Amino acid sequence: MINLNELLALPAPLVLASASPRRKALLHHIGLTFTTVRPDVDEDAVSITLTPDTYVEELARRKAHKGATMVDGDAIVIGSDTTVVLDGSIVNKPIDETDAVAMLQRLSGRTHTVHTGLALVRKDSGRQLIASRSTDVTFRELQQDEIEAYVRTGSPMDKAGAYGIQDDFGAVFVHHVHGCYYTIVGLPLELLYTSLRTFVGAST
C-alpha cells in the first residue's frame, strides 16, 4: 500500500478529530497514518438555518480547531461533519428509536442529499482549509417491517438521517447514488486527498 503521509510529504503528524469508526476506517483504507482525538463540540450551537454546506463546514471547522487544542506539538488536524437534507431541511441524528423510524419513513422512496464538511487545521500556525461535498441518494420504497428491524439493531442511532450506507442492511435501502459514495459514509476521500495536497503545498 502507498504510504500517503510520505507521498504528500506531510510536514506534521496527522490527527483525526473524530471518534467515528467509519472515518478512521476510511483513512486507513487509503494508507494514511494518524492518531485520533475526540473533540467535545456542541453541535446544537450551530444554527440549522444555515445553508447545508455552511452548516457542515462550520461544524467541521469547530471540531478541527478543538482537536488541535488536544494534541501536543504541531499537527495537521482533520475535522468532518455529515448531515442529510430532505425538502430543504437538515435531518441530523435521531433522538430515539421512534424518531429514527419516522426519519426512514420520510426518506422512503425519495431522493435526499448528504452533505459532508471537511476542515484541515495546522496547529502551530492556525492556518485552515475548509471545503465540503454533497451527494444525492435515492431510496427505494421501504417496508415498515424493514425499517423497524433495522432500527432495532441500534445502528441508525448515531447517523444523520438514521441510516448508514455501509451497514449490512442500510445498504439495501439505497436504489442509486449520484455523486461521491464516501461523502455518504462521512469523509469524501478524493476531497480529503486533494485538500491535503493543496494544504501542504501552500505551507512550503
Q: Tell me the DSSP string of 101-151.
A: HHHHHHHTTSEEEEEEEEEEEETTT--EEEEEEEEEEEEPPPPHHHHHHHH
Residue 145 annotated to the active site = no
Amino acid in the structure at residue 16: L
Residue 118 CA to residue 36 CA, distance in Å, equals: 16
Residue 126 CA to residue 186 CA, distance in Å, equals: 24
Q: Which of 72, 81, 96, 145 is catalytic?
A: 81
Residue 164 CA to residue 20 CA, distance in Å, equals: 12
Are residues 64 and 41 in contact, defined by beta-carbon separation less than 8 angstroms? no
Q: Which residues of 82-103 are buried (b: 16+ CB within 10 A; e: fewer)?
A: bbbbeeeebbbbbeeeeebbeb
- List the catalytic residues: 81
